[in-house]
Structure 1
Amino acid sequence: MTDKKTGRKPLGPRSTPIQKRSKARREQILDVAAGLLEKLGSNSLTTIRIAEEVGISVGTLYHYFPNKEAILYAMGQHWLEQMANTLASPERQPGDIDSFVNHFVEQMLKLYRQQKGLLHLVQGMFAIPQLMPLDEQHDDLVINYVANTLPALGIDKPKAECQRIGRSFHEVSHALLLVVVNQSPRRGNSTLAELKLLLRSLLNSHQG
């Protein structure tokens, strides 16, 4: 359709390409920051270094993220969103305790391995004030998922007790998954087998 006054075709909305470029740049910044986080750790990670690696000015970087903590927060938030989507998947039917533990551990391990710089990110979620809400969200996400699954596994307990069991399940799995992703394949497989044994033992002790 042409403009009646000018006889020219309208250029159309310009916001969509701009938004796509902005989103792509934001994702690039987060990806580069994750790689640097894995190599340098959170203490040595700076917005100047991130901007240099991305190939933009620090001022341009601040257009997307006001500081390093905001970058780390976005990384942690994305990781938790992936975890929430995985836990909400219809494929995650509880079945029996063995199949539940195996499936949970294998799916979580994929997420832990995919996130570059995860150990430093998790440490930041525990120690950096701006990131601490993410640590609480992570705890609640897994604890509530496990607690709500327990009745389907034959573990009939009051809600508060299910939450307590869920926390034990979460603390053990989270701690050892962080170990596994930083071990050699041989040692990691051994630790993974031990993790599954611990989780099965925990749930079996409460069944019936």
Structure 2
Amino acid sequence: MKNRKNSASAPAETTPNERLAPRRRPAQMRALQTVDLVLEAAASEIEREGLDKLTTKRIAAAAGLSVGALYEYFPNKQAVVHALVTQWLQRVAEAVDEVHPRHGGSRDVMTYLNDQFNLVAQMYEDRPGLGALIHTLDAVPELSQLTRDHDDRVTSSVASALTHYAPHADAAKVETAARCIGLLSHSFLCAALVYRTAPRDLMFANARACWLAIVTPLLMR
């Protein structure tokens, strides 16, 4: 009986996603602006001091808020990082979808891929703290799940676009091509714009060459 009582009174365990969820979902413009301010401040602090030194106190100070005001929205610094990654991935996915052929227009497949790439590049360029965040994506399980979900979403969008241009192509080959395009584009953008380990023009040209090699077999009947 004693053990049963202790078990009943023990607090329920929370899942990782529950621990990282925002304390409140902002709806009013002022609250949305506050959340954006917190995320921008966190990104700046990550860029300046790195993730290891990131604290809620530093974030709040950089945002011009009290720590208590920050805690109204986020339970801890991990939740801020989670929200920051979520926001960035959402913007990348929206950029990928912006030029999808279902929205109309007369782009051919290479123009579609080029325009998409240029839009996504804006999400990589001059983004404070992005390099450090990308490095942590595979190391933190919750962030890894976000990345997998994002990759699946992008692959689905690109695959449906490729199907528009190559309606008779094998579906499995289209999905493989779409996933390869996403992964290669990410690598080229990181090298050119985030880590700056290779010239921008060279990386962009290499990306186009890879797309051409990937999509050409799909277009051939």
TM bin, normalised by shorter chain, reads 0.7 to 0.9
Query: How many residue pairs align between the two structures?
Result: 190
Question: Deviation above 4 Å: which 4+ runs of structure 1?
Answer: 183-186
Instruction: State the secondary structure of the residue aligned to 1:65.
Output: coil
Counterpart of 2:61 (choices 52, 61, 75) is: 52
Q: Distance in 1 between matches of 2:82 and 2:180?
A: 26
Offset of 1:182 from its aligned partner? 3.1
Q: Distance in 2 between matches of 1:143 and 1:129?
A: 21
Offset of 1:172 from its aligned partner? 0.8
Aligned positions of 1:172-191 closer than 5 A: 172-182=184-194, 187-191=199-203
Structure 2: which 5+ runs fail to align? Answer: 1-26
TM-score, normalised with respect to structure 2: 0.75
Q: Distance in 1 between matches of 2:80 and 2:118?
A: 28
Offset of 1:49 from its aligned partner? 1.4
Q: Is the 8 A contact 1:86 1:107 kept in 2?
A: yes
Q: Distance in 2 between matches of 1:133 and 1:184?
A: 27
Q: Distance in 2 between matches of 1:146 and 1:164?
A: 10
Q: Is the 8 A contact 2:41 2:63 kept in 1?
A: yes
Offset of 1:122 from its aligned partner? 2.1
Identical columns (%): 27
Q: Distance in 2 between matches of 1:35 and 1:68?
A: 14
Q: Distance in 1 between matches of 2:161 and 2:194?
A: 29
Partner of 2:38: 29
What amino acid maps onto 1:120 in structure 2? A
Say if 2:157 is the partner of 1:157.
no
Describe the shift of the 1:65–1:201 C-alpha distance in structure 2 as closer, same or farther (beyond 3 A).
Answer: same
Counterpart of 2:121 (choices 109, 113, 130) is: 109
Alpha-carbon RMSD: 2.4
Structure 1: which 5+ runs fail to align? Answer: 1-17
Partner of 2:94: 85
